[in-house]
Every structure is written in structure tokens, then in C-alpha cells.
Amino acid sequence: MTGRWMMAIAGMVLAAFLVAPDRFAPLFQPLTRNGAPAIYQQTSILSLTLSHLGIVTVAVLASTVAGLVLAILVTRRSGREFLPLARTVTAVGQTLPPVAVLALAVPVMGFGTGPTLVALFLYGMLPVFENALAGLTGQSPQVAEAARGMGLTPVQRLWQIDLPLALPLLLAGMRLTAVISLGTATIGSTVAARTLGEVIIAGLLSANTAFVVQGGLVVGILAVLIHHGFQALERRARLRTGLD
Amino acid sequence: MPRIQPPAVLFALTGLAGLALPLVQLRPNRIVPGEGIALAGLPGGAAITIVMAVVLLAACLPRWTADLRLGVAIAGLLAVLLLLGMAATHLQQSGNALARVSPAVGFWLLLLAFGLMAADAVGRLRLSLTWRWAMLAGAVGIAAAILVSGILDGVSVMREYASRSDLFAREARAHLTLALGSLGLALLAGIPLGIAVYQSPRWRGPVLSVLNIVQTVPSLALFGIMIPVLGWVAATVPGAGAAGVSGIGAFPALTALFLYALLPVVSNTLAGLTGVPVAIRDAAVGLGMTRAQVLGQVLMPLALPVLLAAVRIVMVQNIGLAVIAGLIGGGGFGTFVFQGLNQTAMDLVLLGALPTVALALVAGIALDLLVQGTRRPAP
């Protein structure tokens, strides 16, 4: 319960800061030197936050759809041949550092939001795919037996049994993807994507600690909120399937 | 029932696309865009293109066994690397000294096609642990031999390397120090902490949720925040500065990596210890062992595989995250990545990113094999 209260307070402080960042200037003033501004002014922090969240949302949705479709395909009879390969590729892919994937996307795609989106999408697909696969293959034989006994067609079984049972694990995969994407998108500002990383990097370049801290806090609070939001969804999904 | 292998069709299509698209890119100097040249456009390239296309299509036939496929895939990977080196050498002889030849889409697709073919074959062969260690060692050895032989010296990334080989060695050491140092510190602090929360369950919730929140904070933010925090500590806590605490250089990066590494170490220590069956613990106590003996001689050895799994997670994660250190002046391969991004010199970006990827892959596979080795039932 205390966790929920802390999340609510963190969310409200974040909202207040995003709406009127200048009100918080006295808090950040001690962190500046030589009369440097206490609040990042070049671009509004709110618009950077929205752009950051926009990039992450698009990437997470795209990787969820792609990862889920792939997981469904390799668990059908016609796609079984691809299952071992898919497992290997996912395992190997997840050892690749997200930052390196971002850096490697630039030579191919150039600067801007595009390479960041593609890197986030490709990397984010792996946790979603892995978890969806675990959810689709990990159910008890009794469930499959019961579904066959009820006379469900394969499509009905997928929609009414397999996917609802896999939902909690799928959500856990989306949570991993969302948190990783949020962090990697921050680094995306080094390849000219419009994200909150801009604030942190401006702070690092001008040795203005206030910028570093405010950028870091906004991203950090967002990450913690998203993490807890997904966990709440997972609990609800597990309750609904009766697994808990 | 003989029929065409669907995965092999995927590899063939990827490889054929790679043959059709530009293999290399020729640019007048290191930062301007250039023209793509396909394999068929190089002298003798048309014949090689045909041979490769035939091999890729033939691999779709059902008769081919997994070890034959593996052999073809390895030969294909070597051929693609050699072709890149030869193309670079050839194109540079005929052009100006500043011209750069870098790998293009076609090269990466061919590498992907043969790499996937190799991965698929290895997965089907169900090799023994010893064989997989041998294959990993062989792959690293061959890669090192190719790099040392100078075949690839004409390729742009290697030319970036040639002009800063001393710096590269230094940043490689810095990168390894960051990744391994933070892992070592995390083990030193995390294992006792994991044992402590195992013995007093009251603290499990709070400790794990704090570490969870740290893990959630994006890396750039944590790295950035470490600079002022540690600067303040060094300036105010007596003796901290003398002990090496500093807000600049590698120390903030090391601290951030250490904090990220704590959660896997603590939670896996705990999971490993709680995973030991109660009957075994009771038997040890029944033998008259002291608490310390039970912990040191029974529980910890049994928890070792789970702990090693944490080492694998941390190792791979920290090799990747150490790249961010380059952004805050902490050294490592990230220095090249971010310098390259600033100068829009993509060869320099690759010089930082490729070794990081290779290091993470080798460390990940090696530790996976190590974990599997300890999990095997004792004879």
C-alpha cells in the first residue's frame, strides 16, 4: 500500500514539475555555479518529455505486435521448424548492448528519430518475443487436453485459451521492453532524437549539475512509474486467469 | 519425408538479397557519403556471386545434414570477410589515399545469412559442452587470426584503428576495468548482502525494492547523477578524496555500474540459497555442523549455479553499459562511439561499437557454457 502512495506522490511531483518547471528553480539553484540557469530553457521540458514518451510508446507497441506475431507463428505447426533458430537468435540478440545497437543503426539510417526508433523496436522485440513464447508454450498439458475436448478449433484455442493465459508473461515482457527503451531513448539524443537525454547531455557539456539532475529525475521517475504500472497490470491479468 | 527446409529458404533469401545489394561503400574521404558497389561489380565478383547463390540455394535441399550446413556456413562467413578485405584493398589501389571503403548493407546481410545458418545448425547438432567450448575458442581464434593477418587492413574501421592503435588498447583496458571491476565490487558487496537478507527475511522486501528502483533508473541519468554526488562526497567527506573517490574520470562510471550490478547479485544469491531443499539443510544441521559451516560447505556450493547466472547477467549488462562511460569522460569503447557520433565519422562509431558487441557476445556465450557446466549432475 505504501508503494502505491509513493507512486502517486512521485507522479504528482513530476506532473507539477512538467507543468511549471520554473517554480522549482529555487530547488535546483544550489546545484548551479556562476549564475547558470537552474532550469533547462532551450526547449520546454514538457515537450521533450512528450516526445520521449511518444518515441518509447511507438517502439514498444511496434515491438509488442511484431514479437507476439512471431511468437504465435513459431508455435504453430507450420512454423515449428523456426523455433530452435528463433530461440538462438533471441538469446544472442539479448546479449547485444542496446547502446551498441543504437550506434550501429546510425551508419545505416543516419541521424534523427528514425534510427532511435528502429534500434528500440528491434531490441525491444526480444523480451516480448521471449516472454510470449514462454507464455504460449508453458501451459499445462491438461489445458491443451481440455481445449481439444471442448472441440475448439486452433484459432478459437489461440484467442480464448492460449493468449489470455500468456497475457501476464506478455505484459512482463512489455515492461522490460518499456524500461529498456526509456533508458536507451535517453541516449538517443546523442544521435539527434528529441528526448530528455538532451537535458542531461546539456548539463554534462556545460558542467551544470542542475540540468543533469532534473533530466535524470524526470526519466528516473517515469521509469519507476511505468515499471510499477505494468506490474499492477500483470497482477490483475494473473488474477483474471486464476493463476494466483 | 524429404521436403525443403523452411529456415534454409529464409537464409537463402537473405543471402541473395545481400548478393544483389552493395557489398561495400566507396567514399572520397571519411565523412562524406559515397557510392555502393555490389560484389558482381568487382573484378571476378560475378563468378563468386553465382557460386555463392548456388550454394545458398543448394542448402535448401532436404538431403543436407546439419554438420554439412555448419561447414558451409563457416566457409561462407570466412568467404564474406575475405571478400570484404579484398574489395577494400582493390578499390584503394585504384583510388586516392583518403578514399574509404566500408562494409555496406550487402556485407551485413551476407554475414547475417551465414551467421543464422551456423546458429541453426549448431542448435540442431546438440553438441556436447566440450565441443561447444572448442567451437567458441575456434571462432575467437579465427577472428583474431583474420584481424592480425592484415587481410582487412584496407577496410575503413581498421584504418581508424591503425591511426589510433595505442588509444584503442588503452580504451579497451579501461572498458574491461569498468566492466570487470564493477562486477568484482558487486560480488564483494552483493554476496554478503544476499546472505544477510537470506538470514533475516524482514529486510528482503526493502533491500530488493531499493535495488529494483536503482535498476529501473536509466543509465545516462544514473551516470550523470553520480558525477555531482561523488564530487560532493570527495569534497566534504574527509579522506574520501584521498581514497580515490572523485566526481570526474572513471570513478562515477564504476559506481553506477556497481549499483546496476547489485540487484542481480543479491537477488540470485538469495534465490540460490532459498532454492536449496530444506531436507539438505536439516541434514547438515543434524550432522552437527555450525551455522557458518552449513553456509560455507553446503548452501553456497549448491547455490553456485544460480550465482554464476548472476555473474553472466552482470557481465553482459556491464560490458554494454560501460559504453555510456564514454559520454561522461570515463573512458572505454564508448569514447570512440560518441566521438564518432559527434564528428559524423561512422567508421569511428563502428570502431567503438563492434568490439563492444563482440566482447558481450563472447562473454555471454562463455558464461552460459560455464553455467551449464556447473549445472550438470555430479557423477
Residues B203-262: pLDDT tens digits?
Answer: 988 898 888 888 878 888 888 888 888 888 888 888 777 777 777 778 889 999 999 999
**Which positions in chain B touch A108 (Cβ < 8 Å)?**
105, 108
Check: CATH 1.10.3720.10 for A42-241?
yes
* C-alpha cell of residue A196: 530528455
The predicted-structure confidence for A65-77, as pLDDT tens digits, reads as follows 999 999 999 988 8
pLDDT above 80 (res B31): no
* pLDDT tens profile A15-26: 999 988 888 888
Cβ-contact B117, B56 below 8 angstroms: no
Average pLDDT, chain B: 88
Topology of the domain covering B165-375 = MetI-like fold (1.10.3720)
Residue B378 pLDDT: 47
Percentage of chain B modeled with pLDDT above 70: 97
* CB-CB contact of A195 with A188 (8 Å): yes
Is B73 touching A (CB cutoff 8 A)?
A: no
- What pLDDT does B188 receive? 96
pLDDT of A35-48, one tens digit each? Answer: 788 888 888 899 99
pLDDT band at A244 (very low <50, low <70, confident <90, very high): low
**Across residues A201-216, what is the average pLDDT?**
86
User: Which residues pair with residue B35 across a beta bridge?
Assistant: B26
Domain locations in chain B as residue ranges: 6-152, 165-375
pLDDT at A226 (0 to 100): 92
Three-state SS for B31? coil
Can you say whether the dihedral through the CA atoms of A92, A93, A95, A100 is positive or negative? Answer: positive
Residues 104-133 of A with CB under 8 A from B: 104, 106-108, 111
What string of DSSP letters covers B110-164? HHHHHHHHHHHHHHHHT--HHHHHHHHHHHHHHHHHHHHHTTTTTBHHHHHHHTT
At residue B78, the pLDDT reads 94
Q: Residues A179-201: what's their mean pLDDT?
A: 89
Inter-chain CB proximity B350 and A107 less than 8 Å = yes
Q: How far apart are CA B167 and CA B173, in angstroms?
A: 10
pLDDT confidence bin for A51, thresholds 50/70/90: very high
Which residues 179-218 of A have a C-beta within 8 angstroms of B?
A: 179, 182-184, 186-187, 190-191, 197, 200-201, 203-204, 209, 212-213, 215-217
pTM: 0.87
Q: Above pLDDT 90, what percent of chain B? A: 41
